[in-house]
Every structure is written in C-alpha cells, then in structure tokens.
A and B are shown apart, each in its own frame.
Chain A
Amino acid sequence: MTFKLSSSPHQHAQRSTSDLMRLVIFCTLPGLLVQTWLFGWGTLIHLVLAIVVAVVTEAAILELRKRNFEVAIKDSSAILTAVLLALSIPPLAPWWISVIGAFFAIAIVKQLYGGLGFNLFNPAMAAYVVLLISFPVQMTSWLPPESLTQYQANFADALSVIFTGFSNDGYSLQQLQLGIDGHTMATPLDQVKTNLTLGLTYNETLESPVFAGGLGVGWLWVNLAFLAGGIILLLQKAISWHIPVGMLGAIAIMALVFNGIDGDQYASPLFHLFSGGIMLGAFFIATDPVSAATTNQGRIVFGACVGFWIFIIRVFGGYPDAIAFAVIIMNMAVPLIDYYCRPRTYGHARSGK
C-alpha cells in the first residue's frame, strides 16, 4: 500500500471550466425542452443559429488575437452564452436577431474585454439588452402557448417564419400571435402591465385566458423546468445557493409587501416568481461566475439587488420583464460589492471583537 503525499492545496479535483460549462448547458435542457414543447420549435432554431454564430465569432476573434482558439472553443463557454441568449429570444423572432445578438455577445461584450474571465458584463444579457433597445418590436413578439393559439405552427412553419417572416400557410407572425378568440395575446407580464394602465385591477386581469389559477399558462411550466435544472446545478455544487436565494427572496419579499399593501395594483409573489424568465435568470444567468460577485456574502447582496431591480423595473418601469437590465446594472456594482464583502482572512480576528 502506498501512502501518497501531495503538496497543498489539498483540494479534491474540482471540475474544469469546460466540465462546468457543459454541466450548466445540460441543466438548461429541461427548461429548453418545456419551452420548445409549449411555445414551438422557434427556440431550437434560434439555439442552433446562435451557437453557430457564437462559436465561429469566438474562433475568428481568437485567431485575430493570435490565441489558441481550439482550447477556448472546447471550454464551451461560447455555446453556453448562445444557449442563454437563444432561450431569452422570442421563438419566432427573425433569424438576424440571434445572429446579431450572438455576434455582439461574443465579439464586443466578451472578446473585446479580453475573453473568458475578463468580461465585466454577462455577455448573453448585454447582447439581449442591445437587441431589446435596438429592435423592440421583434424582441417583444412572444407567442402565446400553443394550447391557446388560433393557428398552430409546426417545425417547417417556424423555420419559414424565422427566415422569411411568413409561415408555409402564409400567416404572418402577428397572425400567429392571435389567441383562440382572435385577439393578439400578450405574455402574462405584458397583460398585467397593460391592464393596470387600462384601469383594471390585478384580479380582473387574472381572468383573461393567458392565466390559469393566477399564474401564466405555459410560463409556469417553463419556470418550473428551469427551477428543476437549477436545483440539479445546486446539488452538483456547480453554483452556490447564495445568488438564487438572494434574488428569489428579494423578489418574494418585495412582492409580498406590495401585494399586502394593495392587492389590486400589485401582483402576488407567486405570480412574480413564476412568470417571465425569473428561474432562468436566478439559476443560470445571475450565477455567471465571471461577472457576478465572488464572496458568499457578496453573492447574497448581488442576488438580492438583482431581485430588487427586477421588481422595481417590472412594476414601475417601462419594460414588462427586467432580468437583463437588473443583471447588467448589478454587474457594474460588483467591484463595489466585492470591496465591502471581503471574507475574514484566516488568523485575523473578526472586526469588533
């Protein structure tokens, strides 16, 4: 029997970057599948487009920078960025949306700052914000869940809408957005926002067909699937619990307080937690190891502030959902958070004792 001695650090071999990235990509699969199941094939088509553009862009720029691009491509970080971007783009947006988005995310947000590990901002979310403010119409044309649409779109239709703007039967995106009753259907968050400005109360809004039991049809399942993927990430110790818990906790508390003050104006905590991209944001986007805070204490602060901004922008701002804005605002605050949340150095006394 040999008795091995090794020098410090005495840590078990942790995952390499590429293992971690691949694990995160696999954990998005439940959400991806549910989103495809409920909202049509568009997400998958955008996923393929975004991955191809992201990887080609990464390779081209690394070649320009005279770096070894094979290593960088194999770490799958570009693919993860593309996956997150494709998941946040409306399924039937035109093809150039994901092409511009993936190019911007990799070329400008990631590589111009020095590549993986040096980017200040979350590449997928920065690209999403660029797309959202540049092409507001395309970026907000979400479909209603397939169970509620007037016209169904199969894979060929989705492909056709994305590349030509019309389905094989000649329906435009606007027609595909129609619900069974012939009205254009908005997302649950849109619906709440619009109806509140029209003078309806929150409870009256919940009677419209995009809601079932107080939660958005379809969106609940998408969020549950991302929650499941996120829990796998937590169990695998790929991410720490601090950011998701901070973010979801902040949203829940704020929603509870506002809902308690005026239930006619402010949606319930459950509605806030299970609509839009909250679970995707909490477990997959805000936890980006590069652009988020690095200490555990700091992560709670970071997550809570992201949740705070999401709630503020959702309720009082001009946009129905705000994960990208919230994450980018807090990315800018990360150096400050890290400065004030430094862990105690081993051997030094706690301050004040």
Chain B
Amino acid sequence: MSNDTTADIDNTPNSEQPNDDAPALSKQNNLQQLKDISWQGIWKNNAATVQLLGLCPLLAVTATLINGLGLGIATTLVLIGSNCTVSAVRNLVPNEIRIPIFVMIIASFVTVIQLLMNAFTFELYQALGIFIPLIVTNCAIIGRAEAFASKNPVKFAAFDGLMMGLGFTLVLVILGAIREILGNGSLFKGANLLLGDWASQMEITLFTTDSAFLLAILPPGAFIGMGFIIAFKNLMNNRIEKLFAAAPTTKNIARVRVTAEK
C-alpha cells in the first residue's frame, strides 16, 4: 500500500481546454471523458482490486456488509470533497509542498465525516472505530488527489472522486457480504446502525448454525475472500471490457484493401 503505485494510475483525460469554436464537439468530448472516468473508477482501475490501495481498512472492517457499506460511503464522501478542493486549489499550490497540503485537505474532510458519523450514526461510528480517522491514510485518496485531481478541472475531479469511491465501496460491500454470509449466515446485519431503526427489518437470515465458519469473520478470511474477488475480476476482465469499453471505440474505419482475402 505505498504511494508508489500512484505513478502508474495516471489516467489523465485530455485536460486541454475544449475548443470554443465547436461547442457540440466539446460537449461530446465531455461526455466521453465522464464515461472514461467512470469506467476507470469502477472497473478498469478499481482502487481496491487493481490498484490494491486502501487494503488495510478494506480487510479490517468488512466482517459485515453494513460495516463495509458504512466505510465505503465515508470514504467516497471524503474522496469527493478532497478531489474537489485539491482540484480547485491546484494552480495555487506550490509543487514542492503539495503533499502536505493534500494531506491537510484530506484530514479536514475526514474530521468532518467523523464528526458527522459520530452525530448521526453513533453505533456504526463505534463499530468502525479507529478506521474512520484512518481514512486519512487511505492511499486511494491521496493517490487520486495526486494523480488526477491536481491535474484536472473541478467537475472531472469531483466525478472521479465519486466513481473511485463507488468502485471502492462496491468491493467493500461484496467482500462484506461474502464474509457475513459464510461466517454468520446473514445479510444486512446491523443495517439499523447506518440507516435508522426502520432498517432493522432488512436483516436476512440465510441459515443459522451452532458452529459458524469463523475463518470468514477472522482476518485470514478477509485475505482469502479478497483473493477470490481479485481472481474473479481478472477472470471477467475480457468479457466486461468487450461489453463496455469496446462499444465506444468501435469506429468503422474504411480501409483500402491491399491484399486479397485468402
């Protein structure tokens, strides 16, 4: 979980200002960029399964689906806020001291989220414990600030934060669901901690057992489950990419046939 990987994830869309002469073209260009950002954030460059950033909270809190969802939402909110702010000040920040400034921006957003969770979802706040303040150290966030937000306009940076956060949340939720089902036989346990009392009916009990598969709840289960998620992602890569990524790039290029077909 080092920041070194951030160098590889520079998927900066073309940051040239759109040409004023052709508003229609720039609109299409915008849309294309937003599409690309969401594709990168949710699948191609997923913070958890591809960049392997932020594994510490990912593995630690995903004993249940709701815990994962709670941390995922908190991380997403911090990511959007920090990406916007970093992007807004990107031309004012001297290059030499940009990292401390980014960290301070992130830390202030984490403090805001932490206080909000303390006020409105107190039990979840207690369940997640140290991992809320530790969002500051989540490499995925500083990674996006450095690799994307500091080079792109605010609207793209905000959208990138949202999409990266969604991708991260998705993995947290899936891993939490797998571990909760295997280890506890339930789903949405403790939904009332996040969503209020009405949500306590959401809990689904799939099976009850005297001897639960404790491994799934324990830390090794998180590693094994994460391994399976990454393996599944790699397995599906080709198919999904054909479905989504290929669609916009299939352009009919008329070529002059130079050789006869055999």
Nearest CB on B from A207, distance (A): 34
> Which of A71-79, A132-140, A211-219, A344-352 lines the interface with chain B?
A132-140
Identify the closest chain A residue to B183 (Cβ).
A134
**A137:B215 contact, CB within 8 angstroms:** no
- Does B202 make an interface contact (CB < 8 A)? no
A 133-157 to B, binary, CB cutoff 8 A, 1 in contact else 0: 1111110000000000000000000
CA distance A269 to B220 in the complex (A): 34
**Interface of chain B residues 204 through 251 with chain A (CB within 8 A):** 211-215, 218, 220, 224
Chain B's nearest CB lies how many Å from the CB of A112?
8
Scan residues 175-213 of chain B and give those whose CB is less than 8 A from a CB of chain A. Answer: 211-213
Name the residue on A nearest B213 (C-beta): A134
Those of A300-320 within 8 Å (CB) of chain B: none
Q: Which residues of B contact A137 (CB under 8 A)?
A: 211
Residue contact A133 to B211, C-beta cutoff 8 Å: no
Quick check: B218 and A133 within 8 Å, CB to CB? Answer: yes
Cβ-defined contact, A134 with B224, below 8 A: no
Residue tally, chain A, CB below 8 Å to B: 9
B218 engages A135 (CB within 8 Å) = no
Q: Is the CB of B224 within 8 A of A133?
A: no
Say whether A135 contacts B224, CB under 8 Å.
Answer: no
Question: How distant is B18 from chain A, measured CB to nearest CB, in Å?
Answer: 49
A130 touches B215 (CB 8 A): yes
Centre residue among A100, A108, A135 by max chain B CB count within 10 A: A135
The majority secondary structure among interface residues of chain A is helix
Instruction: Report the minimum CB–CB distance from B225 to chain A (whole Å).
Output: 12
| B160-172 interface code vs A (CB 8 A; 1 in, 0 out) | 0000000000000
Please measure, in the bound complex, the distance between the C-alpha atom of A108 and the C-alpha atom of B231, giving whole angstroms.
13
Q: Please classify how large the interface on chain B is, using the bins under 10, 10 to 19, 20 to 34, 35 or more.
A: under 10
Residue of B nearest to A108 (CB): B224
Within the assembled complex, what's the spacing in Å between the Cα atoms of A130 and B220? 9
Chain B residue numbers with a CB within 8 Å of A135 are 211, 213-214
Residues of A within 8 A of B218 (CB): 133
Q: How far is the CA of A138 from the CA of B213 in the complex (A)?
A: 12
For the complex, give the distance between the alpha carbons of A136 and B210 in Å: 12
Alpha-carbon separation in the docked complex, A135 to B212 (Å): 7
For residue A160, give the distance in angstroms from its CB to the closest CB of chain B. Answer: 18
Closest beta carbon of chain A to B66's beta carbon, Å: 23
CA of A173 to CA of B224, assembled, Å = 32
Give CA–CA (A135, B211) in the complex, Å. Answer: 6
Q: How far is the CB of B19 from chain A (nearest CB, A)?
A: 52
Determine the chain B residues whose CB is within 8 A of the CB of A100 once the complex forms.
213
Chain B nearest CB from A329 CB (Å) reads 14
Q: Of all chain B residues, which has the CB nearest A137? A: B211
Interface string of A120-137 (1 = CB under 8 A from B): 000000000010011111
Partner of B211, one of A108, A130, A138: A138
What residues of chain A lie closer than 8 Å to B211, measured between beta carbons? 135, 137-138
Task: Give CA–CA (A137, B220) in the complex, Å.
Answer: 19
Q: How far is the CB of B138 from chain A (nearest CB, A)?
A: 28
Q: How far, in angstroms, from A100 to B211 measured CA to CA in the complex?
A: 13
- Give the residues in chain B near A138, CB-CB below 8 Å: 211
In the bound complex, CA of A136 to CA of B218 (Å): 13
CA distance A134 to B215 in the complex (A): 5
Q: How far is the CB of A29 from chain B (nearest CB, A)?
A: 32
| Minimum CB distance partner of B231 in chain A | A112
Per the 8 Å Cβ criterion, residues 84-128 of A in contact with B are 100, 108
Measured in the bound complex, the distance between the Cα atoms of B140 and A304 in whole Å is: 43
Closest to A138 in B: B211
**Nearest A residue to B217 by beta-carbon distance?**
A134
Q: From B210, which residue of chain A is reached at the shortest CB distance?
A: A137
Interfacial chain B residues near A130, Cβ < 8 Å: 215, 220
A112 to B213, alpha carbons, bound, how many Å? 20
Residue in B214, B215, B218, B224 whose Cβ sees the most chain A Cβ within 10 Å: B215
Residues of B within 8 A of A108 (CB): 224
Bound CA span A133–B221, Å:
11
Instruction: Name the interface residues of A11-70: CB closer than 8 Å to any CB of B.
Output: none
CA distance A108 to B213 in the complex (A): 16
Chain A's closest residue to B215 (CB) is A134
* A residues near B213, Cβ cutoff 8 Å: 100, 134-135
User: Which residue of chain A is the closest to B218 with respect to CB atoms?
Assistant: A133
Q: Give chain A residues whose Cβ lies under 8 Å from the Cβ of B220.
A: 130, 133
The contact string, 1 if C-beta is below 8 Å from chain A, for chain B 121-140, is 00000000000000000000
Smallest distance from the beta carbon of B223 to chain A beta carbons, Å? Answer: 12
The CA-CA distance from A138 to B209 in the complex, in Å, is: 13
Name the residue among B211, B213, B220 with the largest chain A CB count within 10 angstroms.
B211
Interface residue ranges, A against B (CB under 8 Å)? 100, 108, 130, 133-138
Enumerate 8 A-B pairs (CB-CB under 8 Å) in ascending A order.
A108-B224, A133-B214, A133-B215, A134-B212, A134-B213, A135-B211, A135-B213, A137-B211
* Closest 8 pairs (CB-CB, A-B): A134-B215, A134-B214, A135-B211, A134-B213, A130-B215, A133-B215, A133-B214, A138-B211
A100-B213, A133-B218, A137-B211 are known; give 9 further A-B pairs, CB within 8 A: A108-B224, A130-B215, A133-B214, A133-B215, A134-B212, A134-B214, A134-B215, A135-B211, A136-B214
